[in-house]
Amino acid sequence: MTWGLQNRVSRLMKDGHTVMLAVDHGYFQGPTTGLENPRKTVTPLLPYADSLMLTRGVLRTSVDADQTLPIVLRVSGGTSILKELSDEVVTTSMEEAIRLNASAVAVSIFVGSEHEKETLANLSEMVNAGERYGMPVLAVTAVGREMARDARYLGLACRIAAELGANLVKTYYCEDFRKVVDGCPVPVIIAGGKKVPEEEALRVAASAVRDGAVGVDMGRNIFQSSDPVAMIKAVRAVVHEGKDAEEAARTVRGSLPAR
Ligand code: 5RP
């Protein structure tokens, strides 16, 4: 790794672990529940995130430029929930990511989907540009409706992302998750997925970290929580302090709904 790339990766991590706050959902879902007004959602959560994952449009309009939190800029998209989701292109150039002072860029890949090849080409294009400028690339293993979220499929997608040069990979937690991590020679982060009860989401995060993930890139299970600030604090306790889900939920007891 060049110094710049290494420096950017280390900005995202605290003691080798990370809590990324994902608020990029609008790029294909529009005004998702909890993110109707991105500034309102994001502002109270910023002090508790290690980095913020979002598109350039929401960054420029909804986050003040004096904010020092590392930015993970989503640079693939160009589709919507009304169409085939794998039909993505690179929407944001590496030069724009540098102008926005991003600490990493994020590109989705859709292994096994209709536009698998194009999405792998998008990732490769950004890795080549990232190598030129010292910008880390986070590959997001998006899962098509027809795909199984199991260790075999996720392991395949993560490994392909790493082989193409991604510096970090984001995927989903699954049974036998350690196999996914063991087969992926770069750090793995998990997405939170659909909103579930708080303690369940914390259990998934705790299991993922126990099984080798370096952290989470979590969105809906934080910003759709009845108490997003309490929830992100609990996620931090799991990822950075190694607390189990029950213990983490207890630290914010009173705010989070009981089991
Ligand atoms: C969408 C994304 C999201 O950022 C990702 O899914 C994380 O959000 P959530 O925890 O809500 O799943 O990359 O492609």
Please state the three-class secondary structure of 155-193 as a single string: HHHHHHHHHCCCCEEEECCCCCHHHHHHCCCCCEEEECC
Which residues lie below 8 Å from residue 67, measured CB to CB, with a gap of 6+?
46
pLDDT band for position 78 (cuts 50, 70, 90): very high
193 pocket-lining for ligand 1 (C-beta < 6 Å): yes
Give distance in angstroms: CA of 35 to centre of ligand 1: 12
Q: What is the mean pLDDT of residues 154-183?
A: 98
Alpha helix (H) ranges present in 43-186? 56-62, 94-99, 116-133, 151-163, 177-182
| pLDDT computed for residue 1 by the predictor | 77
219 pocket-lining for ligand 1 (C-beta < 6 Å): yes
Is the model's pLDDT at 259 over the cut of 60?
Answer: no
The least confident of 30-34, 135-139, 208-212, 254-258 is 254-258
Whole-number mean pLDDT of the chain? 96
Q: What domains are there in the chain, each with its CATH number? A: 3-192+213-219 (3.20.20.70)
The rounded percent of the chain whose pLDDT value lies above 90 is 93
Give distance in angstroms: CA of 191 to centre of ligand 1: 6
Is the model's pLDDT at 227 over the cut of 80?
Answer: yes
pLDDT in tens, 115-151: 999 999 999 999 999 999 999 999 999 998 888 899 9
pLDDT in tens, 43-77: 999 999 999 999 999 999 999 999 999 999 999 99
| 24 residue type, one letter | D
Pocket test for ligand 1, best of 25, 59, 110 (most atoms within 8 A of CB): 25
22 pocket-lining for ligand 1 (C-beta < 6 Å): yes
| pLDDT computed for residue 66 by the predictor | 96
Q: Which token pair is 79? A: 């589709």
Give distance in angstroms: CA of 98 to centre of ligand 1: 23
197 pocket-lining for ligand 1 (C-beta < 6 Å): no
pLDDT band for position 255 (cuts 50, 70, 90): low
CA angle 176, 177, 183 (to 5 degrees): 105
| pLDDT computed for residue 84 by the predictor | 93
User: Quick one: which atom of ligand 1 is closest to the CA of 23?
Assistant: 4
Q: What is the mean pLDDT of residues 211-222?
A: 98
Residues carrying an active site annotation: 170
Give distance in angstroms: CA of 258 to centre of ligand 1: 25
Q: What is the mean pLDDT of residues 218-233?
A: 97
181 pocket-lining for ligand 1 (C-beta < 6 Å): no
What does residue 249 show for φ and ψ, rounded to 5 degrees?
-65, -35
Q: Which token pair is 135? A: 């910008």
Query: Taking Cα atoms as reference points, which of 130, 119, 17, 106 lies closest to residue 54?
Result: 106
pLDDT band for position 81 (cuts 50, 70, 90): very high
Is the model's pLDDT at 254 over the cut of 70?
Answer: no
Q: What is the mean pLDDT of residues 32-42?
A: 98
Q: Please name the residue whose Cα sits nearest to atom 13 of ligand 1.
A: 140
109 pocket-lining for ligand 1 (C-beta < 6 Å): no
Q: What is the pTM of this model?
A: 0.96
| pLDDT computed for residue 250 by the predictor | 86
